[in-house]
Structure 1
Amino acid sequence: MNWTSMIAIYALFWVLSAFIVLPVGLRTPDEVEGHVIEKGHATSAPVNFRPKLVARRATIVAVVLFGLYYANYANGWITVDDVNLFGTPPVKDLGY
């Protein structure tokens, strides 16, 4: 596998991981005692958003997922034939 492909696949895993870990640990104003919602703010907006923590968590999850992906790529644990749910497509005679 080329190193550029590895970087691109890792980036995809990182973005997926960021969306997965984004809501973990967030609290809305309703869940925080004594927090006053200012005029113009949404009631569903988080009060404790920490992007550095989200990036750190996403990086850890992405490293684990990419490690599993690369180990599968190198060892061939799951192949295309293993996930082919519909079987081999029939061969059509085109009459040539």
Structure 2
Amino acid sequence: MQWTSMVAIYGLFWVLSAFLVMPFGLRTPDEVDGYRVAKGHATSAPVNFRPKRIAKRATVLAVVLFGLYYANYAEQWITVDQLNLLGRPPVEDLGY
């Protein structure tokens, strides 16, 4: 696998991980005692949004997911033929 492909796949895992970890630990104004929403702000907006914490968590999760992906790529634990869920035989040599 080329290093540029590895960087691109890791980037995809990172973005996916960021969206997965984003809601954990956020609190809305309704969940915080004594917090008043300023005029013009949404009542559903998080009070304690910390993008650095989200980036750190996403990085750790992306490293784990990419590690599993690369280990599967190198060891071929799960192949495309094993993911044939429709029961059709895989496409044979097309003679190109």
TM-score (norm 2): 0.91
Aligned residue type for 2:26: L
**Cα distance in structure 2, aligned partners of 1:90 and 1:15:** 33
Measure how far apart 1:90 and its partner are: 8.3
Deviation string for 1:8-66 (max 9, x for gaps)? 00000000000000111000000000000110000000000000000000000000000
Measure how far apart 1:89 and its partner are: 6.1
* Structure 1 residues 67 and 89: alpha-carbon distance in aligned structure 2, compared to 1, 3 A threshold: closer
- CA contact 2:84–2:90 (8 Å) conserved in 1: no
**Secondary structure of 2:53's partner?**
helix
Structure 2 residue ranges without an equivalent (≥5): none
Q: Counterparts in 2 of 1:1-96, with a 5 A limit?
A: 1-86=1-86, 87-88=88-89
| Overall identity of the aligned pairs, in % | 73
**Cα distance in structure 2, aligned partners of 1:4 and 1:90:** 29
Q: Which has the larger radius of gyration?
A: 1
**Secondary structure of 1:82's partner?**
helix
Query: RMSD of the TM alignment (CA)?
Result: 1.4
Structure 1 residue ranges without an equivalent (≥5): 92-96
